[in-house]
Structure 1
């Protein structure tokens, strides 16, 4: 089976205003550490990161209960439950975290999984985003051509098979804010 742009799902306006405000507030707290890389073997440069729950890339343990028990992360747990409902089938939450990008901290092309049934779900938690700020989420096909570009609009959710090659492009020089994405990696139960 060949995966393509049609396998990348975008949802706008599905999260309540109250939950969106809670997630935005969390993203403004001192939760960030600098020095994260999507792939430690290949990435030379770093970006901001905050780990919420789950193990490393080889972990198959369901971390949903751990996330729901973490103090101060109830909004992240609520977001996960809403995303799982959007997926439409029971999921094991393998990892939950947030990434932050500023000008010059673009991501590298990578896959999150080698399995077509493992999903990556991204929620953009910043309050505002303007077209000239860039930082699109780019997806690549088999020929390494861009098959889909997704603007990081506030409150947008993107769900896709983690085996699709993708990367976060850098915010532009004129972007005055942190590009915030809450990320959930999951597998079928």
Structure 2
């Protein structure tokens, strides 16, 4: 991965305490299995819970107040506000969702945006426990298909440009749980 592409990945360990997040997210009507709308490139089905924003990849409306206005999602809004204040002050929320992978569910290489979209993604690892032997890394690719792998750690956040191609690697066979992430898609706000 080129140094400019690698430098566009920002990893923040222990960004938030995730102990309460799995219950909050799963209370939104349960998991759905299939292709999550809005991904560009190849995509494979995964477990997901849509939280807010549009499922249409062409819709770039800002939904900053939806999490706060939705009963039961106030704590997720606190996470979003923390991301915006600390890491992305010039961005508004386009959509948010939870995704999960089990053993045998490798994700396909995909990206979220075109360069003209000026989008960033904050990916928060929400599993409350994760052992090294469980695998489940997120792999980010450059144009030459070289990669950087980020291990899932409870509370770890990765901020990246939405044009970067990425894939989720499946958890190992002996992993007893979903590898879960909470994704916030953001778009630069024109002022």
Alignment partner of 1:73 is 2:81: no
Q: Is the 8 A contact 2:136 2:169 kept in 1?
A: yes
Q: Which runs of 5+ in 1 are unaligned?
A: none
After TM superposition, the score normalised by the length of structure 2 is: 0.88
Partners of 1:48 and 1:93 in 2: CA distance:
22
The farther-off stretch of 68-77 and 22-31 is: 22-31
After TM superposition, the score normalised by the length of structure 1 is: 0.89
Q: Paired residue for 1:36? A: 35
**How big is the shift at 1:42?**
3.6
Partners of 2:111 and 2:41 in 1: CA distance:
13
**How big is the shift at 1:115?**
2.0
- Deviation sequence 1:47-106 (CA, Å, 0-9, x none): 100001111211121112122111111121111111112224231100100001111112
Q: Paired residue for 2:22? A: 24
Q: Is the 8 A contact 2:95 2:185 kept in 1?
A: yes
Counterpart mapping for 1:133-152 below 5 A: 133-146=134-147, 148-152=148-152
Alignment partner of 1:96 is 2:96: yes
- Deviation sequence 1:105-127 (CA, Å, 0-9, x none): 12110111112731011111111
- Secondary structure of 2:48's aligned partner: strand
Partners of 2:94 and 2:60 in 1: CA distance:
6
Q: Structure 1 residues 32 and 68, CA, compared in 2 at 3 Å: closer, same or farther? A: same
Q: Is the 8 A contact 1:103 1:171 kept in 2?
A: yes
- Secondary structure of 2:65's aligned partner: helix
Partners of 1:133 and 1:41 in 2: CA distance:
27
Q: Structure 1 residues 114 and 150, CA, compared in 2 at 3 Å: closer, same or farther? A: same
Partners of 1:144 and 1:176 in 2: CA distance:
31
Q: Give the 4+ runs in structure 1 shifted more than 2 A.
A: 24-31, 36-43
Q: Which runs of 5+ in 2 are unaligned?
A: none
Partners of 1:61 and 1:67 in 2: CA distance:
14
Partners of 1:86 and 1:57 in 2: CA distance:
26
Instruction: Provide the aligned length of Structure 1 versus Structure 2.
Output: 183
Q: CA RMSD in A?
A: 1.9
Q: Is the 8 A contact 1:122 1:157 kept in 2?
A: yes
Q: Paired residue for 1:13? A: 14
